[in-house]
Structure 1
Amino acid sequence: MGEDPGALWSHPQLAAAVFNEDWGAVFRAYRKLAGLSQSRLGERVGLVQPDVSDIERGRRQVTSVEVRQRIVEGLGIPSSVQAAAAPTTTGKVPVASLTLSGPAPDEDLLARVTSVVGSAHRVDAATLDWFDELLAAHRRAEDQIGARPLVDVMRQQLRTVVDMYSGARGPLVNRVVRLASEHAQFLAWMAQDQAETAAALAWYDRSHEWALEAGDANMAATTLSMKAHMAWSGGRGGRCVRLAEAARWSAPGTSPGVQGMAAQMAARGYALNGAADSARRMLDEAQGLIGQASEHPEDEPVWMYFYDETWFTLQRGMAAMHLRDWRTAVEHITAGLDALPDEYRRDKTWYRACLSHALAEMGESTQAASVAMASIPDAAAIGRPHSWNELHAMAAVLLRRGAKESQQTIAMLREYD
C-alpha cells in the first residue's frame, strides 16, 4: 500500500487495532502495509527490535504513557483515528474497553452482597474491626512485595466479606458494604498495577457502586480518581481530566486529601496534553489541599495513608516529565525518592525507573544507566509491568542517542526478562 498516511490509516484492520489499543496488532498491520522490518519500525517509535517483537507477540504490554505517545507520533496516527479510540463526547466508553478479560470478577458479587445468603452467621463490630485491620495490613504488604502474591488472597477475603452481608443487622449492614467496596478498590488497584485493564475497570465500577450504597463519599470519589489514573496510564489526558473533575463534584463532602488526589490527577491529565499553565494551577491547588489534610490526618480515610508531601513531590516530577521539563522532573523525583521510606519498595522501583528515563532525556547517560541497572532486579522481582516498560523506554532513549551505556543496559534487561 506504500507510505501514504491516509491510505495506511484508512485500512480497517489498522484502525480497529488502534481502537482496541492492541499495539501488537498495530505493529503487525502497519509493518505489513508499509513493508517495514521490525528494526525499521522500532526506529520510528524509539524501540529496539526485540521490544517490537515482544509487543507483536503479546509478551510485553504497552503500559507506559511515554511509549504510547512515541508510537502515536512515530507512526503518524491521525487524530481522527485516535478520536475513534477515545471516549465519546457523551462520556460513554467504547464497548471494546469494557470487555472483561483476564482475572475479572468471575461471578456477580453485587448480587451476592445484596441478596440473602442462607445459614450465615451473625456479624458483630469486632469481626468487622478485624477485617479493617487485615485489609490495612495487606495494603502495606503490597507496598513492599507488589500485587502478584496477594491477588488470590484478596479475592478470597472479599468472598468472605460479602458472605457476611445477610448476617449483618442495623448499622453493621453499611459497614459490610463499605468493607466490600474497599476490598474491590484494592483488587482494582492490583489489577491496574499488573496492566490488567479490563479487570481493573470492572472492580472499580463494582467498588463505586458499593461505595454509593454505603454512603461512602470518600471511596466513591477515590474510585473515580483511580479511573482517571488509568486514563492517564493509557495516554488519554482529556479523559483523565474529566474523570478527576467528576471525582471532585460528584461526591460532596469528601476529605481534603481525597479532593487533593483528584486535583493532582487533573493536573497530570493537563500535563499529558501539554497544558502547562492548567497543570501547574491544579498542582498548586492540590498542594494546598494536602496541607489541609496533614493538619487533620484523623479525618482522612485509611487508604490515604500514603498521600503526603513526599508522594506529592513525586507527582510534580511526573507532571514535569509530561511537559518535557526534564531537569525539574529529575529534581522533584530525586527529592521524593530520598524521602520515600524503604518499605515502599514497589513505588521506589517505579519512580527510579522514571528518574532513569528523565536523566536519559537530559543527556545524563551514565547516571541514567546506573539508576536503571540498580532498579532492574527489584522491577523483575515485583513484576510490575509499568516499571519494566519505563526501563525499556529509557534504554531506547540511550540507544537513540548513541550512548555507550545502552547495550549494557539492554543486556541486563534481557537477562532479567
Structure 2
Amino acid sequence: MSQNGPTRAQETPAAFWTRADVREALRARDMATFFLLYSKHANASQTAIGQRVGIAQPDISKIVRRKRRVEEQQVFTRIADGLDMPTDARRLLGVSGEGGPEGSQPVGPLGTPTSPVDPPRRVNPAAVDALHGTLAQYARLDNMMGPRHLMATAAVQLDFIGRLLAVADGPTRTRVLQVGSSFAEFAGWLHQDAGDDRVAAHWSDRALEWATEADDTLMISYVLTRKSHHAAARRDRRATLGLAQAALRRSETISPRTRALAYRQIARGHALAGDATACSHALDEARHNAAVTDDLGEAERTLTGYCTPAYVELEAADCWLILGRTREAITAYEDCLTDWPAEFERDRGLHLARLANAYAAHREPTRACAIATEAIPIVADTGSARAADELHRLPGWLGRWRKTDEVRTLAEALTTLPPATRADGRP
C-alpha cells in the first residue's frame, strides 16, 4: 500500500461501487464501459464475467466492443445479481435492491418469474433424469401448439438448471450439462420459430458450450446442425454449408438421424448456392440415413425423432423451390401432406405455406390462394414466425395478379398475421 492509500487494483469492492466513473456508467446503463471498469477492478476475464452474469463470452465481447447493447431489464437484473451489486448501485442501474422491480419475483434468463429459493446443497441424479423426461412432452406440445406456449416454461427450467450447475460436481455435473444443453437447444428452437433470432442464437451458443463441456458428441453435432439452420434462414450459404459439414466431423459417433439432419442442411446450402447436382447428392445421403430404423434410446428419439423419410422429402421440396424447380416441389409437398400426422400441426401450417409459394411461383394463383387460406388460421393459432414469413412472401410471387379478387382477399387475410420477421431473398 502506498502512502496515498490503495491502488485501483487493490481497491475494496465497496470503494469500487462508489467511484464516479462506475456510477456514471451504471446511471447511463453503459455496459461496455462498466464491464471494462469491472474487469480491471476484479482482474476478471470476459469469460469469468460472463459466467457470473449468465452471458456467453462472445456476447460479452460484443457488448464491450459496442457491437451489441444491453436493453432487456432481465439482463440488467442478472448482471446486478451475478456481480453482487450493492443496493445503491443497483438503483443507479434501475434494478431493485431486492433483485427485481419492487414487489416482483426475481427473473430468469428469458425474463420470466423464477423460484426465489436457494439452490439445493446436492443434486439427485434421478431428479435430473426426471427433468430430462419432461422435455419429450414439451416437444410434443410444441409440435401441436407452436412456440409461444412453452417459452416461459423453458425459461423456468433453464433457470433451475443453472442453479443445479452451481452445486453439481463430477459425473453428476456432466449429466446436468447434458440435460441443460438439451433444454438450451429447445429454448433456441422456440425463439427461432417465434422469430427472435438474437435470443435463439444465444441459447444455441449456450447449448453448444454445455454440450462441449460434457463431451456429448451427439448434442454437439445436433447443435451445429441447428446453427446451420439459423444461417440458412439468413441466406448465408457459406455458414450453412460450413456448420453442417462440421456437424459430420465425428459422424461415426452420432446417430443416423443426426447425420440425416446434417446432410439436409448441406443440401440446403448447395440449393442456396444454385448447385442442383450437389444438392441432390446430399439429399440422397439424408434419405439413406433417415431410413435407418435403429432405436438408440429415448434421449436420441426426443432430439431427432421427427427426422423421418417424409420429413426429408419435405426439406427436399423446399430445396427444389429455392432452385426454381417448382413442379418437383409441388409434387413432394402434396405427396407428404396427404397423410400428415395430426400431432405436427405447426409444421402442417409451415408446409402448406411453402406449398402456396410453390404454386404461386408456378403461376397458379388460384391454387396458391386456396392453399394459403387453409394455412393462415393454423399459422395464427400456432404463432410460428417462420410459417408467417413464408405466407408474407406470397404477395411477391403473386404481384402480376395483385388486382384480382382472390389475391386482394388473400392480401387482406395476411394482415391478420404478425408482420414478417426476416426477408430471405425470395420474391
Normalising by the residue count of structure 1, what TM-score does the alignment of the two structures yield?
0.70
SS at match of 1:249: coil
Match of 2:333 in 1: 333
Match of 1:276 in 2: 276
Match of 1:308 in 2: 308
Q: Which runs of 4+ in 1 moved over 3 A?
A: 94-112, 166-170, 295-301, 401-404
Aligned-partner Cα distance in 1 for 2:67–2:267? 26
Gaps of 5+ in 2: 1-60, 84-107, 109-116, 419-427
- CA 1:199–1:230 in 2, change beyond 3 Å: closer, same or farther? same
Aligned-partner Cα distance in 2 for 1:349–1:126? 38
Query: Residues 131-146 of structure 1: matches in 2 within 5 Å?
Result: 131-146=131-146
Match of 1:285 in 2: 285
CA contact (8 A) 1:162 1:176 kept: no
Deviations 1:104-136 (A, max 9, x none): 993489999xxxx97624322331222112111
SS at match of 1:171: helix
Match of 1:414 in 2: 415
Cα shift at 1:168: 3.8
CA contact (8 A) 1:366 1:405 kept: yes
Deviations 1:33-67 (A, max 9, x none): xxxxxxxxxxxxxxxxxxxxxxxxxxxxxxxxxxx
Aligned-partner Cα distance in 2 for 1:104–1:263? 40
Deviations 1:57-105 (A, max 9, x none): xxxxxxxxxxxxxxxxxxxxxxxxxxxxxxxxxxxxx969974778799
1:295 matches 2:303: no
Query: Residues 16-415 of structure 1: matches in 2 within 5 Å?
Result: 99=68, 106=75, 107=78, 120-168=120-168, 170-249=170-249, 253-292=253-292, 294-298=293-297, 300-402=300-402, 403-415=404-416
CA contact (8 A) 1:99 1:198 kept: no
Aligned-partner Cα distance in 1 for 2:156–2:365? 46
AA at the equivalent of 2:412:
A
Aligned-partner Cα distance in 2 for 1:287–1:392? 30
Choose between structure 1 and 2 for higher RCO, CA contacts under 8 A separated by at least 6 residues: 1
- CA 1:339–1:313 in 2, change beyond 3 Å: closer, same or farther? farther
Aligned-partner Cα distance in 1 for 2:279–2:66? 27
Aligned-partner Cα distance in 2 for 1:297–1:268? 27
Cα shift at 1:339: 3.3
- CA 1:210–1:100 in 2, change beyond 3 Å: closer, same or farther? farther
AA at the equivalent of 2:415:
R
Aligned-partner Cα distance in 1 for 2:356–2:294? 34
SS at match of 2:343: coil
Deviations 1:228-286 (A, max 9, x none): 11111111112101111011116761111111111110101101111000000111111
Aligned-partner Cα distance in 2 for 1:328–1:339? 19
- CA 1:101–1:334 in 2, change beyond 3 Å: closer, same or farther? farther
CA contact (8 A) 2:128 2:176 kept: yes
Match of 1:54 in 2: none
Aligned-partner Cα distance in 1 for 2:67–2:247? 20
SS at match of 1:274: coil
Q: Which has the higher helix share?
A: 1
- CA 1:240–1:103 in 2, change beyond 3 Å: closer, same or farther? farther
SS at match of 2:356: helix
- CA 1:415–1:225 in 2, change beyond 3 Å: closer, same or farther? closer
How many residue pairs end up in the alignment? Answer: 320
Deviations 1:260-319 (A, max 9, x none): 111110101101111000000111111111123x23454835211211111111111111
CA contact (8 A) 1:135 1:183 kept: yes
AA at the equivalent of 2:294:
E
- CA 1:334–1:263 in 2, change beyond 3 Å: closer, same or farther? same
- CA 1:98–1:357 in 2, change beyond 3 Å: closer, same or farther? farther
CA contact (8 A) 2:365 2:398 kept: yes
Aligned-partner Cα distance in 2 for 1:331–1:97? 48
Aligned-partner Cα distance in 2 for 1:251–1:220? 11
Aligned-partner Cα distance in 2 for 1:126–1:269? 41
Match of 2:12 in 1: none
AA at the equivalent of 2:234:
G
Cα shift at 1:346: 1.1
CA contact (8 A) 1:104 1:202 kept: no
Identity percentage of aligned residues: 27
CA contact (8 A) 2:340 2:348 kept: yes
Aligned-partner Cα distance in 1 for 2:82–2:313? 38
Match of 2:23 in 1: none
Which structure has the larger Rg over C-alpha atoms?
2
Aligned-partner Cα distance in 2 for 1:192–1:286? 23
- CA 1:231–1:118 in 2, change beyond 3 Å: closer, same or farther? same
Aligned-partner Cα distance in 2 for 1:104–1:189? 23
Aligned-partner Cα distance in 1 for 2:153–2:173? 23
Match of 1:77 in 2: none
